Each structure stands twice: as C-alpha cells, then as structure tokens.
Structure 1
C-alpha cells in the first residue's frame, strides 16, 4: 500500500478525499501527517494536534472489504481493528460506540469514515503521547509511522464483520455508562440494544453510526 507522509496537513482525510477526486492517488493508499491543523472530528468538530500523536487516513476499495460488512458500521470495523493493534501497548484501551477510543473513562481518539465513489476513506486521530483537543493521551511510546504500518498489516487481513462484531458485542457493555449525540440530542446508552449490523435500538428508535 502506498503511504504518503507529510510534516503538516490541515487534515489527512480532506487531503486524501481531494486526492482521490482529482485522480492523484488510487486505493489502497494512506496519508499520515506529523501535525494536523484542521482535522475532521465527529459532529463537525476539529481534531487537531502536534507531533507524537497519530493523524492518518486510509483509502480502501469497497470490493476489498468483507462482503458481510454493513457500510453504516464501517467506523466500528475500522476502529476495532485499530483497538486490537493498540492492545499490544495498553491493555485498558477500548472502543466506545461507535467510533471513539477510550482509556478507562477518558476519550483519547476517534475514527470517521467517508465514502468516495467506490472507495471508503477512514480517518483516525489518536493522542498517543500528548493530550490534545481537551482529551487525554494513551501515554505510549510508539512512532505514528510504525503504528500505521502495524494497522495496515492488521487491516489487510480483512476479518469478516461477524468476527469483529462477536468480539465487540462483549466490549459494548463498557459503553452503557456513557451517552451519544443523536440528531443533536444526548441519549444514554444504558438501555440500548446492539444489533447485529452494528446499529442500536434506543427507546424503540434504530440508530446507525453513520460516521
């Protein structure tokens, strides 16, 4: 997989999406930046930060993804594979539904996905060493470039969704003491039911991650 490396970008995801649209790159490929000045977070928030933290985006053709992967839950899929890689460095990291990396009760990063024609772009930001954006850091000593290589290696195995979901089902219980924003309203996950496609049933309403 081609990896493009930059010292500074406004956003790895924005760069990669623009490069795909213009035809400058083709999937599979990845972009990593040492620093990010205007990264894209969930709910139109920014995810910015300096050296030592992880800012990367990966483009994968849809036909490479597992046939059983619900597109609406791609953020869970990509995030959980990264979480599995990070377990080598910190045993207390887990994935809060649908796309946030947590260390115990503190957010340390997140994932956002975007479909570009027949390509899925996954952007990941994680505070590895330095607290940024008001969030904690994992406090682990790994170079972002090495983490990206390890992640790509794990991702290229393309485990089936049912395998990822089976493991995530157990971890989802940790999300119950938290809330999520749905249509700009904060909803508790305490009574939510995790469906097999990665969606939630909350008070009779079906909610997809769509990130």
Structure 2
C-alpha cells in the first residue's frame, strides 16, 4: 500500500491519493477509512477480490483494469446524487484525453460511460456513516467481462485497449481522472448543477430514442426526453411525461 506524501505532478492539491496492491473492493476500503480521512481521498486498488457494482452485483476486475473510490464529505442526499453526473463527465473527459474519439463516447443515465456502443465504465454512489459519500468507479482498461456473465439486456462490455489501442496503466488513469473530477467539481461548486446538466446532456446516449427503465419489478417504457434539474430521467410515455429518480436503464435491441 502507498499513501503518497508527494503527489504526482498535476494531482489536485485538495485530494489525498491512496494506492493499494489489493483490496476486497475500493468501496469496502472507503467504508473502513472514511472516519479517519481529514479531506477528500481517492482510493485505488490494483486488484479487487470482491468488486461490486450497482445493487450488490459482482463487478469483474481482471488485472490491468481500473477500480477506485473517491470519498467526499457530503450530507445532503440531493446534492450527493448530482455527483454521478460530475463523475460521468470526468470519466468522459479522461477517456477522451487518453485515446478515445469523442464521437465514439456517450453517457448512459444514470451512471455508465459508453464507448463505440458498449459499456466501458460504471459509477456507484453510496452514502457512508458520518456524512461521507463514496463514488466508486470501474473502467475496463484492458479487459472486458465475458458477455455471458452479464444480466440479460445489458449492453456488451468493451475495453479501452481493444477499442482504441490505448494501453493506459491504472495509476496514470487515476491521475487524469482526479484532475478531471476536480475541474468538474469546481464547476458544480461555483455555478451549480446547470452547466453540469448541460454538458452531460450534450454527451448523452439515445436522447430522443425509446428505452426501458426498470424500478424493481416495475418497468417504465418511453422516449428519453431529457434529465431535469434534480438529475431525474424524464421519459415521454403514453401517459405523459414521467420523472424517474433511480432505475436500471435498458436500450431496445437493434436501436
């Protein structure tokens, strides 16, 4: 393990940087370390033995992929939810700098980054005791999970190396991501959610197209119209406009 006393050049000064050789998951490390952290901290692991995604699903993490969690102080649940958009934009910015063409990139509500139509990265937000927020980030830098391991209806997984030829070490990705997040977080702090929302919508996948939002056993089918000022997905359905605060989103096959 290393907690860097001298951060790499360009590392945002307000954040600590913790790099682990191995951890059950960086989200688990965030929960354990949050009470002792005096300021925001990125926690990265070169290997996770029990990585997880949304709703407790397993997250495959082969060697060379990226897994990290940012721990912030945030006790306002409404503002905490907006960090998903900040993190998504920071990921988009990072991947674009490191080798992906912007026309191949897209953002999928609420928390995925797409590359060439496949899922490249995911974001997981969890509130921690004591008013902390954990933002988990997983990126397929070198390897994509086997499609048969995925939930039915999920987008095909892709890896940055296979799609672009860019071989990016996880720690180099962390350094770029931390800087990009700091910039987008500064926008949120200074100007509020409006410019973040606009930038996210400019990069959103499938606006104006049909999709399905699954909320537990319930499904809402409609046309993706926008994201509102609270970060809710707005669908145009036969019953009128419907706001969705949290859901798993699926695209129709062949669209």
Q: Please name the residue that 2:83 is paired with.
A: 74
CA distance in 2, matches of 1:55, 1:159: 25
3-state SS, counterpart of residue 160 of structure 2: coil
- 2:107–2:205 CA contact under 8 A, matched in 1: no
Q: Structure 1 residues 26 and 48, CA, compared in 2 at 3 Å: closer, same or farther?
A: farther
Give the alignment's TM-score, normalised by structure 1. Answer: 0.85
1:52 aligns with 2:74: no
Number of aligned positions between the proteins: 205
| Aligned positions of 1:23-172 closer than 5 A | 23-62=35-74, 70-88=79-97, 89-91=99-101, 92-116=104-128, 117-132=130-145, 134=147, 135-139=157-161, 140-157=166-183, 158-160=186-188, 161-172=193-204
Compute the displacement of 1:186 (Å): 4.6
Q: Which has the larger radius of gyration?
A: 2
- 1:75–1:98 CA contact under 8 A, matched in 2: yes
Give the alignment's TM-score, normalised by structure 2. Answer: 0.71
Q: Please name the residue that 1:197 is paired with.
A: 230
CA distance in 2, matches of 1:192, 1:179: 13
| Runs of at least 5 residues in structure 2 that lack an aligned partner in the other structure | 1-14, 148-156, 249-255
Compute the displacement of 1:142 (Å): 1.1
- 1:48–1:133 CA contact under 8 A, matched in 2: no
RMSD over equivalenced CA pairs, Å: 2.5
- 2:73–2:131 CA contact under 8 A, matched in 1: yes
